[in-house]
Chains A and B, each alone.
Chain A
Amino acid sequence: MSAHAAATPDPAGAPAGSGSGPRVRRSARFGWISFVIFAVVVALMALVPVTESVGNINNLTQLLILIVMGVTWNLLAGYAGLVSIGLQAFIGLGGYILLDLADNNAVQPFVALALTALLCGVVALVSSFVVFRLRGGYFAIGTWVVAEVFSLITQQINSLGGGSGTSLDALSYLEPITRLKDVYWAALICAVITLVGVYWLLRSRTGLALTATRDDEDGARSLGVRSTLTRRIAYTVAGIGCGAAGGLLLMSNLDIVPSSAYSVNLSAYMIFIVLIGGLGTIEGPVIGAVVFWYIQLEFASDGAYYLIALGALAVLMTLVLPGGIAGLIRRVTHVDPFPVGYTLASEEPTSGGAEGP
């Protein structure tokens, strides 16, 4: 087909073989500042096990896991138009795959974590052939049903502790403090890979196709976008991210029960994180994860009131600040710290800012 296309005249009127062509900007002015900040934060985070107390290390591990979950949910809802309330399917599955690999098959636990993430990606890819038959609200519910099915199946497997749960033994070869530190570093690596990977994906041609599909699937298809394939890639990536999060949760908590590993509460947390932080922005879910993490640390012991306040805050935020905290910061500073879009440089003075998605 391309041989045929190459021989035809250029209908867009681009001067064939002309020199440089239009200049397209893909970074913000002073965009390097955000990357310096990112690098500094990551470096400081990497030092946490050296500088902080045991309690803080464990708490920050939870924060990193929340970041992975938030970024993943945002990839689907914010950039792919796939609102799911069933990603806990892969979080729970991640925990149980890690458990099985490490405890029952003697795989080195940290190697098992990587394998777990990949296997969850494969399961997400396969399950996409079922859930992608559904659209909109039906898709959201359908993914939840998948999570419930995974949970029911897990409860039947005695070697994984059945319905009453079990604990991970494979990490007992480490001193408790060493284990906390190693799991923390693993969580940090996962969070960085997730952030960088999602950012890279969104800046790629797949990212362009993904956001086009999100905004108008039929329109995108008429321009040659393989919309289903594109969404499948995003869903697979989400499976990988959630699988890693689930594996890390187990390595950090050491206990696992189907009812909480596959809990729909996890979806509620992800939604909260992304709505508070800013849907469809790179930095939003990170900000949201920090907010959620702090609220959880301070108020989780208040039980029911804590949950009510959480819900009320989410509703309030969506009414008052539809773009979340990241949206507010962008509106005030007019800066997109991690742009994924394209700006035609020759028209910049008149641009109202190509904020992309």
Chain B
Amino acid sequence: MSESLLSVANLRKSFGALLVVDDVTFDVAGGEVLGVMGPNGAGKTTMLNLVSGALAPDGGRVVLAGKDVTRVGVVGRCRRGIGRTHQVPRPFERMSVFENILVGATNGGGTHRGRERYRLANGAIERAGLSGKANRLAGSLPLLDRKRLELARALATAPEILLLDEIAGGLTEPEVQKLVELVLELRASGLGIVWIEHVVHALMATVDRLMALTYGRVIAQGDPQEVMESEELQHAYLGTVAP
């Protein structure tokens, strides 16, 4: 495997007595997509928060492009190239869609200036499928558009590592196809992507590797097909969601 862009080792996090992320280790290279599956409450979002820096881990390390960023906060990690979406969208409701995205283009990875940030924001609008809604107030958007806005804002930060948290839920089939194409395009341009998703066929169409989590532990990781067919995964989902 090529040198990894993002390297996560032995991450651990508890909320009180509840161990939510338990010794999670994985690598993502540039131009690679890692899919993450697991039942509700498995700790996927928490794991993502540890990688983005929104939460501080109880143990373990996060290394970005060879530099240990475990002690770097969420702002610093974004500026160093980690972009993320939120499972529950967090729009700036009293600002327009364009302004929301401009916040990412202005403050994120590139900290771009003048026209450059306008170009970045405009490109992100088109890619996320928000064309025609740029001047709407973000607070007036329905849920699906709010999710698109999450994606657009993350793209506008010019990330090298992109963390996606359930962005395909609720999309129509053609929309899922477009999203898959976008992710493949981003991968081809060299981004490393971690994609948490319940929409299995979207994941299977894009990911290079798949990781399965239950109760905060990695129960399987590797070739997507093999992970899907693994006994561990079948067992984890038994009685919950049919994969």
Residues of A near any B CB (own CB < 8 A): 1-2, 4-6, 8-15, 18, 20-22, 24, 205, 208-209, 211-212, 214-216, 218-227, 280, 341-344, 347-348, 350-357
- On chain B, the residues within 8 Å of A220 by CB distance are 92, 103, 107
Given A220-B92, A343-B96, decide whether A11 and B135 contact each other with a Cβ distance below 8 A: no
Q: Is B144 an interface residue (CB 8 A)?
A: no
Hey, what's the 0/1 contact readout for B100-116 against A, CB within 8 Å counting as 1? 10111111111100011
Known A2-B110, A223-B153; contact A341-B95, beta-carbon cutoff 8 A: yes
Contact B98 A18 (CB under 8 A): no
A-B contact pairs, 22 of them (CB 8 A): A1-B79, A4-B65, A4-B80, A5-B158, A8-B158, A11-B162, A13-B123, A13-B124, A21-B118, A208-B99, A211-B94, A212-B100, A214-B92, A216-B92, A221-B74, A223-B154, A223-B156, A227-B75, A351-B136, A352-B137, A354-B96, A354-B98
Complex Cα distance, B99 from A342, in Å, reads 6
The reply on B6 being an interface residue by CB < 8 A is no
Q: How many residues of B contact A (CB 8 A)?
A: 66
Q: Do the beta carbons of A2 and B65 come within 8 Å of each other?
A: no
Residues of chain A within 8 A of B96, CB atoms compared: 341-343, 354, 356
A224: shortest Cβ distance to chain B, in Å?
4
Tell whether, in the assembled complex, residue B132 and residue A350 are in contact, meaning their CB atoms are under 8 Å apart.
Answer: yes
Within 8 A of A (CB), among B21-69: 52, 54, 65
Does B86 make an interface contact (CB < 8 A)? Answer: yes
> Is A11's CB under 8 angstroms from B98's CB?
no
Most buried by B among A5, A212, A214, A224: A224
Chain B residues engaging chain A, CB cutoff 8 angstroms: 52, 54, 65, 73-75, 78-81, 83-84, 86, 90-96, 98-100, 102-111, 115-116, 118-127, 131-137, 140, 153-160, 162, 186, 189-191
Given contacts A5-B160, A13-B126, A343-B98, contact A223 B103 (CB under 8 A): yes
Which residue on chain B has the smallest CB distance to residue A211? B95
6 closest Cβ pairs, A-B complex = A351-B135, A219-B90, A215-B92, A14-B123, A224-B107, A9-B189
A347 to chain B, nearest CB (A): 5
Check B160 against A224 for contact (C-beta < 8 Å): no
Chain A, residue nearest B93 (CB) = A215
A204 CB to nearest chain B CB (Å): 10
A8 with B160, Cβ < 8 A, contacts A21-B118, A223-B153, A357-B94 known: yes
On whether the beta carbons of A10 and B54 are closer than 8 Å, the reply is no
User: Which residues of B lie under 8 Å from residue A356 when comparing CB positions?
Assistant: 94-96, 99
Using Cβ atoms and an 8 Å threshold, which residues of chain A touch B86?
A: 219, 222
With A4-B65, A215-B95, A354-B99 already in contact, the answer to whether A344 and B75 are too (CB < 8 A) is no
> In the complex, what's the smallest C-beta–C-beta distance from A68 to chain B, in angstroms?
25
**Nearest CB on B from A27, distance (A):** 14
Q: Which of B108, B133, B140, B158 has the most CB of A within 10 A?
A: B158
A208 touches B103 (CB 8 A): yes
* Chain A residue contacts of B83, Cβ below 8 A: 11
Least CB separation from A350: chain B residue: B132
* Chain B residues near A13 (CB-CB < 8 A): 123-124, 126-127, 155
Shortest beta-carbon distance, A306 to chain B, in Å? 34
- Chain A binding surface SS class: loop
Known: A4-B65, A5-B109. 17 other contacts (CB 8 A): A5-B158, A8-B190, A12-B123, A12-B124, A12-B156, A212-B95, A219-B86, A220-B92, A220-B107, A221-B54, A221-B75, A223-B104, A343-B135, A351-B136, A352-B135, A354-B99, A357-B95
Are B158 and A10 touching (Cβ within 8 A)? yes
In the complex, the chain A residue whose C-beta lies closest to that of B191 is A11
Contacting B94 at CB < 8 Å: which of A215, A227, A353?
A: A215
Residue of A nearest to B100 (CB): A212
Distance (Å) between the CB of A322 and the closest chain B CB?
A: 13
In the bound complex, do residue A22 and residue B119 qualify as a contact, i.e. CB atoms below 8 Å apart? yes
Task: Tell whether, in the assembled complex, residue A354 and residue B54 are in contact, meaning their CB atoms are under 8 Å apart.
Answer: no
**In contact, A5 and B118 (Cβ under 8 angstroms):** no
Residues of A contacting B91 in the complex (Cβ-Cβ under 8 angstroms): 215-216, 219
The interface residues of chain A lying within 8 Å CB-to-CB of B105 are: 12
Residues of B within 8 A of A9 (CB): 189-191
Contact of B90 among A18, A216, A280, A343 (CB under 8 A): A216
Task: List B contacts of A350 (CB < 8 A).
Answer: 132-133, 135
CA distance in complex: A221, B90 (Å): 11
B22 to nearest A CB, angstroms?
24
Measured in the bound complex, the distance between the Cα atoms of B137 and A280 in whole Å is 15
List the A side residues contacting B79 at CB < 8 Å. Answer: 1, 224
